[in-house]
Chains A and B, each alone.
Chain A
Amino acid sequence: MKKVKYANTGEGPNFFVLDIGLEDRLAVIEPDTAFWALVEKDSLREALSGDLVSEFESKKDDFKKEMEYLRFGLTPSAVYFNPTERCNFNCTYRYLPEEMRRSGKTMSRQEVEDALAHLRSYFYEDLKIKQVKPQIIFHGSEPMLAKDAIFPAIETYSDDFVFGIQTNGTLLDDQDISFIQKHGIGVGISLDAPVQEIADKTRKSWSGKGAFSKLVDVIDKLSSYPGFNVISTVTSINVRYLPEMVDFCDRHNIRMIMFNPVRCTQKGGQQLKPDDSELALYFLKALDRVYEIYQEKQKKITITNFTNILAGIVGPTTRRLMCDISPCGGGRCFFALSAHGDLFPCSEFIGFPEFKGGNIFRDSVTDALKSVPFKEVTNRKAEDIDPCKRCAIRHFCGAPCPAEVHSFYGKLNAPSPYCSFYEELIRYAFRLIAEGRHELYLWEDWQEDTIERYRFGI
């Protein structure tokens, strides 16, 4: 076989050269395999015509297989279970239509148990999973409105599933917290800002009252629990508070937080979308603050949605969340169940009936996964989207999120409304790797959970 000497000509690989915002370093990327190298500017010639090219050629088939499996070979391992359409809060950026959240359906205890029985049958009999327990995440609207139905079900099915609850936290009492800790349930609490006047602006009850002080109390009770994290939804209202939110995490011993840009799946979210450049500015300042706190106190605070982007670069299969990959995890790594038992590729699609793929009480999950609406989502690939198909970092951001894109542009094959924000996050991640600071931003057991398969350095 002819030995390939050069990148970008003849049989050689196509290496994109990327400015990562450093004076002395660039990134060289082969997008299809998510291969990258960080290169001194004076060594660019060597990167495009030296050992890096032959090294890539010798490993590219392994990298391709890995990406193929990650993108097309996985089966579901989690379900977003929405036991109620109702919410005790009326957040400005709500994800479901108002009539659903005010007076919608709540599952009975029997319905929750029946749905879990169907899911157990799907995972253990149809998929025949053996190694890892599937995960059920009770999700909202506000799942704690159905706690009388879900808590007994958790006890019944504790041998079959790992459970999580994503909640606004306002209905959690001491007994609930004890139950969560006793059963090892993952729990995410929503808090949008470190100060009451901002936090209560977007998250408030139907009568207009916020719950900041109650949430701080709940957070303080849960902070030492390993399965606990906080989720901040980032809007134009709280975006400037992200660095201060990191200090809040420090003060309240929160070890994991997500700064999720508000999903533009409903009008409220679209109206509160932060400007990409302002979002990038304050998000990166928050990441800087994580480093400063670590330097001052040796205390690690993980901004987990950034961690996932970084993990996707240092090892595509090491990512934990399946939003920033193309196709996204919706309908292939996880799916969602509505309070009516309807099956959707992801909770983000529950407000869009045209994306219903079946019903847990009437149809087989396997058939729902093969339905036209699910296939529309699972077939959405960065390679079919302009400009993603020309983008060097398409497999680091994954052109997320199809529900948001569909709502924003009226079609699935369009880039994320947050495209330029992701560009900045990924450049920042490369700077961390170049400066040898990336490990601070990965999770505690990162070294134990992953293994190095390839290294090149000259």
Chain B
Amino acid sequence: MKSKKIISFRRQCKGATGTGLSHYIMLAPKK
């Protein structure tokens, strides 16, 4: 990354966008 003069990228969520959670339980076990 440091070797580039300009760098930009963007990723997307693969599944449902956002878990809908506020700032508490972030990563409940997947079921």
Contact = CB atoms under 8 A, between A and B. Distances in A.
Nearest to A452: B11
Given A436-B2, A456-B6, A164 B11 contact: no
A76 B20 CA distance: 7
B7 A77 contact: no
B10 A186 contact: no
A318 interface: yes
By CB atoms of chain A within 10 A, which of B1, B14, B24 has the most?
B24
A305 B7 CA distance: 25
A372 interface: no
Interface residues of A, number: 81
B12 A322 contact: no
Contacts of B31: 133, 162, 184
Interface string B16-29: 11111111111111
Contacts of A435: 1-2
A95 to B, nearest CB: 12
Given A39-B5, A74-B20, A317-B17, A229 B12 contact: no
B28 A227 contact: yes
A344 B6 CA distance: 45
Interface stretch (A98-106, A197-205, A289-297, A328-336): A328-336
A135 interface: yes
A320 interface: yes
Interface stretch (A40-48, A84-92, A239-247, A415-423): A40-48
A322 B18 contact: yes
Interface stretch (A63-71, A168-176, A272-280, A406-414): A63-71
Contacts of B18: 70, 74, 77, 317, 319-322, 329, 333
A137 B26 CA distance: 11
Contacts of B26: 229, 256, 258, 304, 308, 320-321
Q: Is the interface of B mostly helix, strand, loop or mixed?
A: loop
B27 A46 contact: no
A37 interface: yes
A436 B11 CA distance: 15
Contacts of B8: 35-38, 52, 55, 454-457
B25 to A, nearest CB: 4
B5 A46 contact: yes
Interface in A234-274: 256, 258, 260
A318 B20 contact: no
Contacts of B17: 69-70, 74, 317
Nearest to A347: B22
A450 B10 contact: no
Contacts of B5: 39-40, 42-43, 46, 458
A433 interface: yes
Given A320-B19, A322-B22, A451-B11, A458 B28 contact: no
B5 to A, nearest CB: 4
B10 A454 contact: yes
A334 B20 contact: yes
Given A131-B16, A318-B13, A40 B6 contact: yes
A148 B16 CA distance: 33
Nearest to B26: A304
Nearest to A226: B29
A78 B27 contact: no
B21 A137 contact: yes
B19 to A, nearest CB: 5
Nearest to A63: B10
Contacts of A47: 6
21 contacts: A37-B7, A38-B1, A38-B7, A40-B5, A77-B16, A78-B19, A133-B31, A135-B21, A162-B28, A162-B31, A226-B27, A256-B27, A315-B11, A318-B13, A321-B26, A346-B22, A436-B2, A452-B11, A455-B8, A457-B4, A458-B5
Interface of B: 1-2, 4-29, 31
Given A323-B23, A333-B20, A453-B10, 9 more contacts: A35-B8, A43-B6, A187-B25, A231-B24, A256-B26, A320-B18, A449-B13, A449-B15, A452-B9
Closest A-B pairs by Cβ, 7 of them? A186-B28, A77-B20, A315-B11, A164-B25, A37-B8, A333-B20, A186-B25
